[in-house]
Structure 1
Amino acid sequence: MVIVVKAGGRALDKNIDGIVGDLINISKQERVVFVHGGGDAVTDMCKRLGIEPKFVVSPEGIRSRYTDEKELEVYVMVMAGKINKTIVSKLIALGSKAIGITGADGPTLIAERKKRIVIVDERGRKRVIDGGYTGRIINVDITLIKSLIENGYVVVVAPIAIDSEGTLLNVDGDQTAYAIATALKAQDLVILTDVEGVIIDNKIVKEIRSSEIEGIIDKIGTGMNRKVMLAGKAVNEGVNRAIIASGIIQNPILNALSGNGTVVLKG
Structure 2
Amino acid sequence: MIKVGGSLGDDMSRACADIAALVGQGSSVVVVHGGGAESDRVARELGRPPRYLTARDGRRSRYTDAAALDALTLGMLGRVKPPLVVELLRLGVRAVGLSGVDGGLVTARRTPPARVVLDGEPRVVRDDLSGRITSVDPHLVRTLLAGGYTPVVSPPALDPEVGPLNVDADRFAARLAVALDADWLIVLSNVPGLLRDPDDPSSLVAEVPCDDLTAHLELAGGRMKVKLRSAGEARLAGVPHVVLADGRGPSPVLAARAGTGTTFVGGAA
Specify if TM > 0.5. Answer: yes
Aligned-CA RMSD value = 1.9
The answer for unaligned runs of 5 or more in structure 1 is none
Task: Check if 1:17 corresponds to 2:13.
Answer: yes
Bigger drift between 166-175 and 142-151 goes to 166-175
Summarize the alignment of residues 197-216 of structure 1 with structure 2, pairs less than 5 Å apart.
197-201=193-197, 202=200, 203-216=203-216
- C-alpha distance in 2 between matches for 1:117 and 1:265: 36
Taking only the aligned residue pairs, the percentage that are identical comes to: 33
The answer to whether the 8 A contact 1:114-1:135 is kept is yes
The 5-angstrom pairing of residues 38-53 of structure 1 reads 38-53=35-50
Quick check: which one's strand share is greater? 1
Distance 1:240 1:120 in 2: 40
Q: Give the whole-Å Cα distance in 1 for the aligned partners of 2:194 and 2:56.
A: 21
Q: What are the Cα deviations for residues 43-97 of structure 1, in whole angstroms up to 9, with x where unaligned?
A: 1111111112112344555433211101111211221223212211111112111
Aligned to 2:109: 112
Counterpart of 2:3 in structure 1: which amino acid? K
2:99 matched residue in structure 1: 102
2:260 aligned partner = 260
Q: Residues 157 and 165 of structure 2 are in contact (CA less than 8 Å); yes or no, is this contact kept in structure 1?
A: yes
Q: Counterpart of 1:244?
A: 244
1:178-211 CA distance string (max 9 Å, x none): 1100101111111111010101145100001110
Q: Residue 223 of structure 1: CA displacement?
A: 1.3
Asked if residue 177 in structure 1 is aligned to residue 209 in structure 2, the reply is no
Moved over 3 A (4+): 57-63, 117-123, 125-128
The separation in 1 between residues aligned to 2:84 and 2:191, in whole angstroms, is 21
Indicate which of 127, 140, 144 corresponds to 1:144: 140
Give the deviation of 1:166 after TM superposition.
5.3
Other structure's SS at 1:41 match: helix
User: Following the alignment from structure 1 to structure 2, what is the Cα–Cα distance between the partners of residues 200 and 238?
Assistant: 26
Q: Which amino acid aligns with 1:145?
A: V
Contact in 2 for aligned 1:6/1:174 (Cα 8 Å):
yes
Aligned to 1:130: 126
Structure 1 residues 248 and 121, CA gap change in structure 2 (3 angstroms): same
Q: Is the CA contact (8 Å cut-off) linking 1:61 and 1:222 kept in structure 2?
A: no
CA contact (8 A) 1:14 1:248 kept: no
CA contact (8 A) 1:45 1:74 kept: yes
* Length-normalised TM-score, structure 2: 0.91
TM-score, with structure 1 as normaliser: 0.92
Partners of 2:83 and 2:216 in 1: CA distance:
38
Equivalent residues of 2:23, 2:29 under 8 A apart: yes
What are the superposed Cα offsets for residues 124-172 of structure 1, whole Å, 9 maximum, x if unpaired? x986533611121101000000011111111100211111225111111
One-letter amino acid of the structure 2 residue matched with residue 151 of structure 1:
G
Residue type of the alignment partner of 1:206 = A
Per the alignment, residue 161 of structure 2 pairs with 165
